[in-house]
């Protein structure tokens, strides 16, 4: 069956860490709209429209409230050429917006890993504190959590998100064969619902690692049904476990 493509798109505005462990803005110059000279003191206490030119090549053009990015704005990342257009609150993406992931490699950048998945895609929907969807420990049905991610290979997920991952109700459509995974998602993976084929045949039941698992039923186009259980057999891997025990591990290969 088809497998979901993982993409390592990072959230946030490339903040650096101060000695005390708190996030601080990278160095920049702020140009108030209509002025050709940088504002003394940067964005401190500033309210209004301005454009920040960061030393790392990033730019932000939008609204500031009391020195912080707030309201509507456009942030463009020098590395890869990613861009975000939408709402901000306290320097982070918050509200409705569009994030576009690109793969523009400059001559100064190291060439990408040949084995790495292709980078790209776009997300249109809600953000909370810089991440897709609603905040942690919030029911996606009770907060703005909807969003659509279009992947670089043409796949599309439309549904609910929480803290940057698919969570709640959603539909993932595979561009390659037109099949769909429709149902309940948790931590980025479907847990129960339907696997639907273009000819009308579908599987309804439980899932693990985005594949059928446990009790379920196949319903065929002519109305016939086949009920049974799916058993998943994990395949051994030679990959070493990550050094960081808290780091998420990739799904095992299964039959």
Q: Which pTM does this prediction carry?
A: 0.83
pLDDT single digits (tens) 189-222: 999 999 999 999 999 999 999 999 999 999 999 9
Read off the pLDDT band of 239 (50, 70, 90): low
The more confident residue out of 8 and 142 is 142
Which uninterrupted H or E stretch holds 46? Answer: none
Residue 232 near residue 214, CB atoms below 8 Å: no
CA distance 208 to 165: 16
4-7, long-range: CB < 8 A, 24+ apart = 4/155, 4/172, 4/189, 4/210, 5/117, 5/151, 5/152, 5/153, 5/155, 6/117, 6/250, 7/101, 7/117, 7/119, 7/120, 7/121, 7/151, 7/152
- Look at residue 75 in the predicted model and tell me its pLDDT: 98
Rg (the chain; Cα; Å): 22
pLDDT single digits (tens) 13-69: 444 433 444 456 669 999 998 889 999 989 999 999 999 999 999 999 999 999 999
- Look at residue 21 in the predicted model and tell me its pLDDT: 43
By DSSP bridging, strand 68-76 and strand 59-65 are antiparallel
- Look at residue 34 in the predicted model and tell me its pLDDT: 86
Q: How many CA atoms lie within 13 A of 39 on its CB side?
A: 21
- Look at residue 32 in the predicted model and tell me its pLDDT: 95
pLDDT for residue 6 is more than 50: no
pLDDT single digits (tens) 146-156: 999 999 999 99
The more confident residue out of 114 and 241 is 114
pLDDT for residue 123 is more than 80: yes
Q: How many CA atoms lie within 13 A of 29 on its CB side?
A: 8
Smallest Cα–Cα separation from 89: which of 144, 141, 38, 29?
144
The more confident residue out of 238 and 17 is 238
């Amino acid at each position: 069956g088809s497998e979901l493509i993982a993409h390592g798109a990072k959230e946030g505005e490339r903040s650096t860490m101060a000695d005390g462990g708190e996030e601080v803005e990278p160095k920049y110059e702020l140009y108030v709209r209509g002025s050709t000279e940088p504002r003394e003191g940067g964005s401190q206490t500033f309210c209004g429209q301005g454009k920040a030119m960061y030393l790392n090549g990033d730019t932000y053009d939008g609204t500031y409230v009391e020195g912080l990015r707030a309201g509507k704005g456009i942030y463009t990342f020098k590395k890869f050429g990613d861009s975000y257009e939408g709402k901000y609150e306290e320097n982070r993406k918050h509200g409705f917006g569009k994030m576009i992931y690109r793969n523009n490699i400059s001559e100064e950048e190291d060439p990408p890993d040949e084995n790495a998945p292709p980078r790209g895609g776009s997300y249109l929907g809600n953000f909370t504190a810089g991440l897709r969807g609603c905040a942690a420990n919030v029911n996606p049905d009770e907060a703005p959590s909807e969003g659509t991610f279009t992947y670089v290979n043409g796949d599309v997920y439309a549904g609910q998100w929480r803290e940057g991952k698919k969570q709640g109700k959603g539909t993932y459509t595979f561009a390659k064969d037109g099949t769909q995974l429709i149902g309940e998602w948790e931590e980025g993976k479907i847990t129960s619902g339907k696997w639907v084929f273009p000819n009308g045949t579908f599987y309804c039941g439980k899932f693990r690692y985005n594949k059928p698992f446990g009790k379920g039923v196949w319903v065929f186009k002519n109305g016939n049904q086949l009920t049974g259980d799916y058993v998943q057999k994990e395949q051994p891997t030679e990959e070493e476990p990550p050094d960081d025990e808290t780091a998420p591990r990739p799904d095992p290969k299964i039959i």
